[in-house]
A and B are shown apart, each in its own frame.
Chain A
Amino acid sequence: MGLFKFSRSRSLWMMHFCTGCGAIEMPPTMTSRYDMERFGIIPMATPRQSDLLLVTGYLTVKTLKRVVRSYEQMAEPKYVIAFGSCTMRGGMYWDSYNTVKELDLYIPVDIYINGCMPRPEAIIDAFIKLRDMIDKGEANAWKNYRDNLDWYKQNQAKVFDINKWSAKI
């Protein structure tokens, strides 16, 4: 294990993109009951300072734009944890006209947490798994985004107009 990997895996700064209902599981995870800071994970205000993007629930098309934009602003290496059934297969919004069903079509996801909603134990478990993956050099979804940018952009273009969006936000 290299020094860089060791340092990165133990000082993850997290931007939690609080969409949907999953955000309510974050306060207990952050505060003294479950205390994620013992793993070196702290909440961070802006994407440019963060290593880890937490998507905490279902995404509408409008929100997805902001997620992609936040994700692209983050400095590499960057990691994504997606929360709950909604980010995987749409969850209870599987037939909704305006929610994104599978998040990993649009941005690469390192770890999905199952559940509706996942308990803080599950979130801590995902953090530890991510730490181990970084240690072993397996958390490489961000490289995937760089290598397959065309594929991701193609999928994004299916749900929103990627040519217009930067001017609009």
Chain B
Amino acid sequence: MSLDVEESIKQDIDLRLKDIAKCEIQRERRLKLYTGKDRVIPVLGFLKSYGFIHLAAISCVDWLDDGEFEIVYNLWSYRDKAGILVKTRISRENPEIDTAIPIYEIAETYEREIHEMFGVNFPGNPNLTSLFLEDWNGPPPMRKDFDTRKYAAEKYGMRDLTEQLKIGMDKIKGVRDGDEIL
């Protein structure tokens, strides 16, 4: 399988973004691009003008050991029928990155979700309110250091049903021994 389209995209990107981004061909129709936190908006702006007009998703990866979050922008070009991932890393201590709304308006909702689930702040996004978690009082739940089991036990506190289970088991035993079920 030839990678002509991918090679030509990579060449164009290397030519224009040589100093601020590093581009890789992942496989057929998939490219990756690494850039710095402050360069994301100009890079996205260039890619949109190049043909990547569709922002499919923004996702976040929690690299706990590195102390960093990785923000990943998924772009798609209908002209070249190719996708590109724009990856950048931000510190976990003070997670903050400029909003992509000026380039892609749809980014508002994706950023809202990441803000809710990872606690990343997006200066410039006017609507960083809760999306799925209403009245949430815990830490951002998708972070790797969030203990979901402990939180669930504290918040929902299941009742102890040992006694009832015992009664149920005795009933089942009774049925097995030939007694009629109640």
Binding partners A and B: yes
Q: Which residues of B contact A60 (CB under 8 A)?
A: 132
The docked-state distance in angstroms from the alpha carbon of A79 to that of B155 is 27
Is A96 an interface residue, CB under 8 A from the partner?
yes
- Tally of B interface residues using CB under 8 Å: 17
Is B79 an interface residue, CB under 8 A from the partner?
no
* B window 149-170: CB within 8 A of A: 149, 151-153, 155-156, 158-159, 161
Query: Do residues B148 and A95 form an inter-chain contact, with CB atoms below 8 A?
Result: yes
The docked-state distance in angstroms from the alpha carbon of A39 to that of B155 is 40
Tell me the interface secondary structure of chain A in the complex: loop
Tell me the interface secondary structure of chain B in the complex: loop
User: Contacts A61-B133, A62-B132, A95-B148 given: A102-B138 contact, CB under 8 Å?
Assistant: no
Is B93 an interface residue, CB under 8 A from the partner?
no
Q: Which residues of B contact A160 (CB under 8 A)?
A: 134-135
Q: Which residues of A contact B156 (CB under 8 A)?
A: 90, 100-102, 159
Q: Which B residues form the contact surface with A (CB < 8 A)?
A: 132-135, 138, 141, 146, 148-149, 151-153, 155-156, 158-159, 161
Q: Which 7 A-B pairs have the closest CB atoms?
A: A95-B149, A101-B156, A97-B148, A161-B135, A160-B135, A97-B141, A62-B134
